[in-house]
Amino acid sequence: MRIHVIGAGLAGLAAAWRLAEDGYAVTLYEAAPQAGGRCRSFLDLQLDRVIDNGGHVVLGANRAALAYLRATGGIKAMTEVAPAAFPFHDLSTGASWTVRPNAGPLPWWIFSPGRRVPGSRARDYLGALALWRAGPDAALADCLPPSLLRQRLWEPFSTAVMNTGPNHAAARSLGRALLQVFGLGERGCRAWLAASGLSTAFVDPALRRLAQRGADFRPGWRLARFHTADGTVTALEFDEERIALTTGERVVLAVPHQVAGELLPGLTLPSGDSPIVNAHYRLEGPVTLPGGQPLLGIIGGTAQWLIARGDIVSVTVSAAGDLVDRPASDLLDLLWSDVGRVLGIATPRPASRLIKERRATFSQTPENMRRRQATVSPWTNLFMAGDWTDTGLPASIEGAVRSGLAAARAATR
């Protein structure tokens, strides 16, 4: 049985990999010239460095993503930050601290002043349980009133995980994600970073594995429309050619939700996009961030998270709706002012590159979480994958991989 996978982002790659490993004939199509979607790397000629199109981090609790990396061999291109530590720097006060979860599921670290957020108390952390118990209509701001802990820990995590501001981010989905991470203790909180770029970890090894299994990868193939009859997909019409489906052939649609809506009018899908702005700066030599880790959270500035890799410092600003329309040069100057203050560098902005992901994720509000599509579809041989499908988790790398695996299972039942 041949299974056609439309879209070679992480969801499509995960689905195609799983299907090929299970012995199915797989054809993987991608509209762009390369695989990876929103999780890939490229050589930037201005910086003369390989950079990522976004600041993606995998955590130890992201079991599906790590299993995918281990199975494809991509784990060799990842660096594990162990023991887990989350350094922060507050630009408004100059204070720095590091959150250090302990090993094991019992969070005794919240009782240690040296491990928790300065100025917080152990009982403050219990308030996060309100996220886990939240109703389907609740946002983070409905569950956690303004506080020092919310400002210095929960909001930075929420904005990064949900790519939606705290006044609108769905509390229930965030609560599930935080419980998975912090509920596993130190091991679940470990950050895994792509040492040489996202493509070397998430994309290239999977494509090599697919080739070894005889899968057919077709970049530059854009699906224009489905042909359907009697509740099934009968043909795939690409710009290049029309492919009729034989009895038993199935399709996994793993494209962004906007594209799914264009291909399948009438589906109930999330509405509205939430952008992410990423800036990359090349410095004169290797960079050490405050706290001694390759990852740093920023409080009180425009920048939110920094990732250091060699002589490149990358900045991520999630839920960047108020920034995305500003000129790139202005944003690079604005973000460099934060980076320079953190690193103690007073020189003008170095060589830099700005990347705007206008459609990074859908806006993860309670209403949109209810509009996520199930893996199965109204067509018996068509199955859905993507971080916008109903995985129960936020739209993230983990959610994308899980959705691809779920679609692969459903397609082969």
Report which secondary-structure segment, H or E, holds 4.
strand 2-6
Q: What is the pLDDT of residue 1?
A: 86
306-358 pLDDT, tens digit per residue, is: 999 999 999 999 999 999 999 999 999 999 999 999 999 999 999 999 999 99
Please say whether the beta carbons of 74 and 36 come within 8 A.
Answer: no
Q: What is the pLDDT of residue 56?
A: 93
Among 114-118, 138-142, 267-271, whose mean pLDDT is lowest? 267-271
Write out 38-104 in H/E/C secondary structure: CCCEEEECCCCEEEECCCCCEECCCHHHHHHHHHHCHHHHEEEECCCCEEEEECCCCCEEEECCCCC
- List residues bridging with 87 in a β-sheet: 98
**Mean pLDDT for the chain overall:** 96
Residue whose pair of structure tokens reads 């061999």 in the numeric block: 73
Quick one: average pLDDT of 16-24?
98
Cβ-count burial of 66 within 10 angstroms (0-12 exposed, 13-18 middle, 19+ buried)?
buried
Category of 392 on φ-ψ map: left (φ > 0), alpha (ψ -120 to 50) or beta: left
Domain positions in the chain? 2-33+220-270+365-411, 105-183
Residue 298 — very low, low, confident or very high, per pLDDT cuts 50/70/90?
A: very high
Write out 180-232 in H/E/C secondary structure: HHHCCCHHHHCEEEECCCHHHHHHHHHHHHHHHCCCEEEECCCEEEEEEECCE
346-369 pLDDT, tens digit per residue, is: 999 999 999 999 999 999 999 999
Please say whether the beta carbons of 250 and 381 come within 8 A.
Answer: yes
Which one, of 265, 266, 269, 226, lies nearest residue 249 by Cα? 226
3-state secondary structure (DSSP) of residue 152: helix
Domain 2-33+220-270+365-411: give its CATH code.
Answer: 3.50.50.60
Task: Tokens for 228, please give them.
Answer: 């359907």
Task: Tokens for 127, please give them.
Answer: 């308030």
Query: Which residues, including other chains, have CB under 8 Å from residue 344's CB and lie 6 or more apart?
Result: none
pLDDT at 240 over 90: no
pLDDT at 41 over 90: yes
Quick one: average pLDDT of 189-198?
96
Cβ-count burial of 112 within 10 angstroms (0-12 exposed, 13-18 middle, 19+ buried)?
exposed
3-state secondary structure (DSSP) of residue 256: coil
How crowded is residue 166: how many other Cβ atoms within 10 Å of its Cβ?
22
Q: What is the pLDDT of residue 26?
A: 98
Q: What is the pLDDT of residue 314?
A: 98
Long-range contacts of 144-148 (CB under 8 A, 24+ apart): 148/117, 148/119, 148/120, 148/124
241-273 pLDDT, tens digit per residue, is: 999 999 999 999 999 999 999 999 989 999 999
What's the count of helices (H) and strands (E) in the chain, helices before strands?
15, 20
